[in-house]
Amino acid sequence: MVAADTNVWARAYLNDEPAQARKARAALAAARSTGGVFVPLLVLAELSWVLRGRWERARVLDTIEGLLQTRGVTVESAAVAWKALEACRKGAAGFADHLIAEIAFASGADEVMTFDKAFGRVSGVRRLK
């Protein structure tokens, strides 16, 4: 199994650098078919930020969902990522914010603190004023 940095996934999805996009897609396809690709949660968070800079929220969330369902791809703590995705689809906060909360809760935290208004409306998150 290999892991791919956020920029490899971003090139594959965005196709903003065509030569790199072709290389990224080919490398990811080869890795998925031979030993698989591991995706750390940090890469999911970064990817959501990068994609959100170019795409609408729904498309970003659909892309993350697709990645979670891709054969040959193993996402770190996939159940946590799914919870974050589901929560994000229901609320205003971003995917990375929900991922932070779900990781914290899965690790035993009772509460997450933030200054972010939208994130502060999430259950278990307290906005500092």
Model pLDDT for residues 105-119, shown as the tens digit of each residue = 999 999 999 999 999
d(CA 2, CA 107): 26
Q: Is the pLDDT of residue 122 over 90?
A: yes
Q: 26 Cβ partners below 8 Å, 6+ apart?
A: none
Q: Is the pLDDT of residue 86 over 90?
A: yes
Q: From the centroid of its chain, how far is CA 115?
A: 21
Average pLDDT, stretch 73-90? 97
Cα torsion through 66, 60, 8, 99, rounded to 10: -90
Category of 65 on φ-ψ map: left (φ > 0), alpha (ψ -120 to 50) or beta: alpha
- Helices 95-106 and 41-52 pack at an angle, to 10 degrees, of 160
Which DSSP symbol is given to 104? H
Q: What is the pLDDT of residue 16?
A: 95
The pair of structure tokens assigned to 126 is 């307290």
Model pLDDT for residues 19-40, shown as the tens digit of each residue = 999 999 999 999 999 999 999 9
Average pLDDT, stretch 53-60? 97
Average pLDDT, stretch 58-86? 98
Q: Is the pLDDT of residue 92 over 90?
A: no
pTM confidence score: 0.94
